[in-house]
Homo-oligomer: A and B are copies of this chain.
Amino acid sequence: MASQTEENYLKALLSLSYNKEDVTISELSNFLRVRLPTVNSMVKKLKKQGLVNYEKYRPLSLTPEGKMQAALILRKHRLTEMYLVEKMGFGWEEVHEIAEQVEHINSSAFFERMDEQMGHPATDPHGSPIPDKNGNIALNKQLRLSEAKKGSHVRLAAIVNGTSEFLSFLNRKELNLGTAINVLEIEPFDKSISVSYANHEFEILSHEVCNRIYIEILDESITGTKQ
């Protein structure tokens, strides 16, 4: 079995290669906050184990086996996050750090028990898909709130790169997974949008915020201002 460190490299590679085949060593170095030569030698090691494709001075990628292993770690991470929220009463902004540790626990029974007790959830508390036991990962939502049309009626479906700061911000705004949102106006100057939802009649969300929120469209236009 891969060491915790190796697992973290695999997970990082999976995350960085999301809709983009190749990853560079410096991207990995940056992501993991580890120096280039360290990454370089670890990558050679993973290549030797058949987990990554790599040739000197070339970008690297996960092999099918590497991708599978990475997805199974991600599965453990996301199952844990969901368990912490659903069964242990943590907030969605508190669970990442704990799951980061729990994901390395070596016990399939432990994670299968979580999965069963939650009734095989499809996503983690931030709306990201939980890979299945074979390492298959459902496609993530592709549409962001920043791309929604004026007048559309959408549902908050997932959060990307949800730091605990951002998630706490969403808590203060009472924006949760599943919240139905009306897009009232789009300000062309700074791409901020004004919205209404639940018992919030008027809120302005910056482009930065809208870009981190994935949505499902419920209705293209509810105001009559079609198109």
Contacts and interface: CB of A to CB of B under 8 A. Distances in A.
Interface stretch (A82-90, A121-129, A141-149, A174-182): A82-90
A102 interface: yes
Contacts of A117: 88-89
B110 A106 contact: no
Q: How many copies does the complex hold?
A: 2
Contact of A113 (B90, B105, B107): B90
A101 interface: yes
Contact of A110 (B87, B98, B109, B114): B98
- Dominant SS among interface residues on chain A: helix
* A interface, size bucket: 10 to 19
Interface in A78-136: 84, 87-90, 94, 97-98, 101-102, 105-107, 109-110, 113-114, 117
A85 to B, nearest CB: 11
A90 B113 CA distance: 9
Contacts of A109: 90, 94, 98
A98 B94 contact: no
A159 to B, nearest CB: 21
Interface in A28-62: none
Nearest to A110: B98
B113 A88 contact: yes
Interface of A: 84, 87-90, 94, 97-98, 101-102, 105-107, 109-110, 113-114, 117
6 contacts: A94-B109, A97-B107, A98-B105, A98-B107, A101-B106, A102-B105
